Amino acid sequence: MRFLFLKTPRRQKLWINANLPILGGQKPIELLHNSAGVSLVMQLLRKIRDGEFS
């Protein structure tokens, strides 16, 4: 249920290209160019999955 916001390709594209305050206003896609950025995005997705963020 927590990942319903990523259920469709359109929503996935919107999320990965959104400026997210939790990422310092950066877009998740901008962080996927190195392992540190990938780790940050993965950590955020785990927190969403675990219900820490909605």
Distance CA 18, CA 26 (A): 8
H or E segment at 13?
helix 9-16
Nearest to 48 by CA among 11, 7, 8, 5: 5
Residue 54 counted as domain residue? no
Domain that holds residue 18: 4-49
Domain count, the chain: 1
Residue 40 counted as domain residue? yes
Residue 14 counted as domain residue? yes
Distance CA 21, CA 49 (A): 18
Distance of CA 26 to the CA centre of its chain: 10
pTM of the model: 0.81
Per-residue pLDDT of the chain (54 residues; tens, 9 = 90+): 466 668 889 988 999 999 999 999 999 999 999 999 999 999 999 888 888 865
